[in-house]
């Protein structure tokens, strides 16, 4: 509903004006436009974590009252550094993580909804900050929610000291189960 309201009515401008902010995300959209105008390889980018080095940084010095050191957008940061190939890998990673999160909702709802909530936070956070960096704690949490965790099933095994007997012992015991 929010996306439809933004597309048809344009609620973000009215909302940001109501709270006393500008619709440029505190000047981020101006930075994004300036970054996209800098000449880079659209397919391969500039190389891993190398956009902010050398002459490109010097080109940005006179435009802003500060010297930027990140794009303040995780998706744009990936595009500038790794190009469309890196962006395609990131999109694939996001889709794979979403399917893992979705399946965990059916297996363990409590853990699944935590993973889903954090997944949404990662997606939204990277719209205004560069969170897909190795040193960012959001990136670490993204990997934690994207991992598969093996499920420990309760299995009955024979005790090594009673290998000849037919008695079984349980690996885990439930509360209230008498033995």
CA distance 84 to 114: 31
Q: What is the pLDDT of residues 6-36, one digit of tens each?
A: 767 767 677 767 776 666 667 788 888 989 9
Residues 159 and 167 sit within 8 Å (Cβ to Cβ): yes
Question: In angstroms, how far apart are the furthest CA atoms of the chain?
Answer: 83
pLDDT over 90 percentage in the chain: 32
Domain boundaries, the chain: 31-146
| C-alpha torsion sign, points 59, 60, 63, 66 | negative
Copy the structure tokens of residue 175. 């509360």
Which is higher by pLDDT, 119 or 152? 119
User: Would residue 27 be called left, alpha or beta, if left means φ above 0 and alpha means ψ between -120 and 50 degrees?
Assistant: left
Checking if the pLDDT of 153 tops 60, the result is no
* All residues at 6 or more sequence positions from 54 whose CB lies less than 8 Å from its CB, including other chains: none
The pTM of this model reads 0.71
Residue 59: pLDDT above 70?
Answer: yes
Residue 91 pLDDT level (bands cut at 50, 70, 90)? very high
The tens digit of pLDDT for each residue in 43-54 reads 999 999 889 888
Alpha-carbon span 97 to 103, nearest angstrom: 10
Whole-angstrom distance, CA of residue 163 vs CA of residue 78: 58
The reported pLDDT for the residue numbered 154 is 47
Question: Pick the residue with more confidence: 172 or 124?
Answer: 124
pLDDT in tens, 157-177: 555 555 555 555 555 555 555
């Amino acid at each position: 509903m929010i996306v439809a309201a933004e597309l048809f009515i344009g609620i973000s401008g009215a909302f940001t004006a109501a709270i006393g902010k500008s619709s440029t995300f505190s000047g981020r959209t101006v930075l994004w436009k300036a970054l996209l105008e800098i000449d880079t390889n659209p397919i391969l980018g500039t190389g891993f974590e190398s956009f902010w080095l050398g002459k490109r940084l010097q080109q940005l010095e006179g435009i802003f009252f500060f010297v930027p050191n990140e794009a303040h957008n995780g998706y744009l940061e990936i595009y500038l550094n790794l190009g469309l190939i890196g962006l395609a890998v990131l999109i694939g990673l996001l889709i794979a993580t979403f399917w893992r999160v979705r399946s965990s909702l059916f297996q363990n709802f409590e853990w699944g909804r935590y993973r889903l909530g954090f997944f949404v936070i990662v997606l939204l956070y990277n719209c205004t900050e560069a969170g897909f960096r190795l040193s960012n704690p959001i990136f670490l949490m993204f990997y934690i929610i994207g991992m598969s965790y093996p499920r420990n099933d309760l299995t009955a095994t024979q005790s090594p000291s009673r290998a000849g007997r037919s008695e079984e012992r349980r690996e885990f015991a439930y509360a209230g189960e008498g033995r």
